[in-house]
Structure 1
Amino acid sequence: MNYIRIYLRFVIIYMKGKLEYHFSLLLELIANTILIGIYFAGFNVIFYNFNNIVGWNKYEVLFMFTTSWLSYSFSCFFFWSPMRDIGELVRSGKFDLYLTRPINPFIYLVLQQFQYTFLPRLFFSIYFWIYSLQRLSIQWTVTDVIYYSLNLLSGFVIFSAITVITGTISFWTVKSEEIVSLLTDNNYGLKNFCDYPIQIYSKGMQVLLTFVVPYALTGYYPVANLLGKNLPHLWIAHISPIIALVMAIIAYNFWHFGVKHYGSTGA
């Protein structure tokens, strides 16, 4: 509870600083809104020309990738900016300051910022998630609600763990912004590949998105199971919580390993 109060205080301070340049903040939000709007416009263009993608209709695909986007957006509020910027902190030696604070450096990294640029993505995700649900005939049971909620949480953990792992590489490479973007950026990174049914990709890419960088477990598999799609390996639709736990353990230990081997580079 104490961390929640600290985080809210940091958010207020962070946003007050951003509001000093309110025009810049407004332009950032407008730019991100336009970017996400263009993405959904492109999505509609695809389904204007095709009735379905490998048996998935427009609303099923929309429900699938907004499910993934919900987990992704909440994860990015906390972890995107710290893990993107840590390379600069290591390069300049400013990470030393985080090690001298009377708080865990990882928690301090997360608490001191709020990635408000993901608000448009979250808004669009919620809107189209509701929009798609209203057009699908899913007969929800208590078991389905628990299953879906657990997979949303697992998706949050998977996205967060991957972001932390890629950011931690900065302790050795110094600059890892490109690696973070390559794996986690939803506009041009690998994350973008899980916005559509993974059957459209090669077998190798399917394995990559399922077991190596398990983005397919954040939307495709759980939603396919809910929609009654024919999955060749149904058990994969139930392993998201296990994979999330494994990823979290890997990210936790990798981060501490990186901090332990950190050596200040200076300016």
Structure 2
Amino acid sequence: MNLIKMYKHFVVIYMKGKLAYHFALVFELIANTIQIGVYFAGFMVIFHNFESIAGWSEYEVLFMFTTSWLAYSFSCFFFWSPMKDMGELIRSGKFDLYLTRPISPLMYMVLSQFQYTFIPRLVLSIVFWAYSMNKLSIDWNPCNIAFYSINMLSAFVIFSAITIFTGTISFWTVKSEEIVSLLTNNNHGLKNYTDYPITIYSKGVQFILIAIIPYAFTGYYPVASLLGKELTFPIFAFLSPIIALIAAVGAYLFWHYGLRHYGSAGS
């Protein structure tokens, strides 16, 4: 409860600072809204020319990737900016300041910022998620609701763990912005591969999305099961919570390992 109050306090301070340049903030939100809107427009163009992709209809694919986007957007509110900026914090020596705080450095980094630029992505994702769900005949019985909710939470944990892992690499490379973008940026990174059924990709790409960077468990497998799609390995539809637990523990251990081996690069 204290962390929630602290986070709200930090968000208010952070946004007051941003509102000092309110025109820049507004234009940034508008630019992000246009960018995400163009992405959805491109999606509609694809399905204007193709009735289905790998046996998935327009609304099924839309429901799948907005499910993934919702979890991704919530994760980015907390972890995208801190992990993206890790390299710069270490290079400048500013990360040393986080080590003097009475709470853990990662917690302080999360609390002291608010990635408001993901608000347009979240809002549009909710709109198209609701729109696609209204077009599908999903039996939302208590079992399916629980299954979907658990997998949404698991997707949030998976995205967060991968983002933390990529940011932690900065303890050794000092500069990891490109790695963070490569793996987690939804516009041109590996994350972009989760927007469509993974069966459209080569076996190599599928292996990466399943066994190495487990994005397939953030949307494809849970939603495929919910929609009654035939899967080569049906058990995969129920592995998201286990993958999330493994990813979370791995990211936690890797972060603390990097923290123990941190040497200031600042002056």
Where does residue 109 of structure 1 map in the other structure?
109
CA distance in 1, matches of 2:251, 2:170: 14
Where does residue 126 of structure 1 map in the other structure?
126
CA distance in 2, matches of 1:51, 1:103: 53
AA aligned to 2:220 is: Y
Deviation of 1:102 (Å): 1.1
CA distance in 2, matches of 1:107, 1:48: 45
Where does residue 167 of structure 2 map in the other structure?
167
Deviation of 1:247 (Å): 0.2
CA distance in 1, matches of 2:144, 2:88: 44
Where does residue 35 of structure 1 map in the other structure?
35
Where does residue 190 of structure 1 map in the other structure?
190
Unaligned runs of 5+ in 1: none
Deviation of 1:204 (Å): 1.1
Deviation of 1:140 (Å): 1.6
CA distance in 2, matches of 1:103, 1:217: 32
CA distance in 2, matches of 1:124, 1:74: 13
Q: Does 1:224 align with 2:224?
A: yes
AA aligned to 1:253 is: L
Superposed CA deviations along residues 109-155 of structure 1, whole A, max 9, x for unmatched, are 00000000000000011000000000001112111100000000000
Q: Does 1:73 align with 2:78?
A: no
Q: Aligned runs of 1:1-267 on 2, under 5 Å?
A: 1-267=1-267
Deviation of 1:242 (Å): 0.1
CA distance in 2, matches of 1:132, 1:141: 18
Farther off after superposition, 69-78 or 205-214: 205-214
CA distance in 2, matches of 1:216, 1:52: 19
Superposed CA deviations along residues 205-257 of structure 1, whole A, max 9, x for unmatched, are 11110111011100000000000001010000100000000000000000000
Q: TM-score, normalised by structure 1?
A: 0.99
Unaligned runs of 5+ in 2: none
CA distance in 1, matches of 2:104, 2:54: 47
CA distance in 1, matches of 2:199, 2:214: 15
Deviation of 1:89 (Å): 0.6
Task: Write out the 4+ residue segments of structure 1 that deviate beyond 3 Å after TM superposition.
Answer: none
Q: Secondary structure of 1:39's match?
A: helix
Deviation of 1:195 (Å): 0.2
Deviation of 1:69 (Å): 0.3
CA distance in 2, matches of 1:112, 1:118: 16
CA distance in 2, matches of 1:191, 1:71: 12
CA distance in 2, matches of 1:103, 1:10: 14
CA distance in 2, matches of 1:24, 1:129: 29
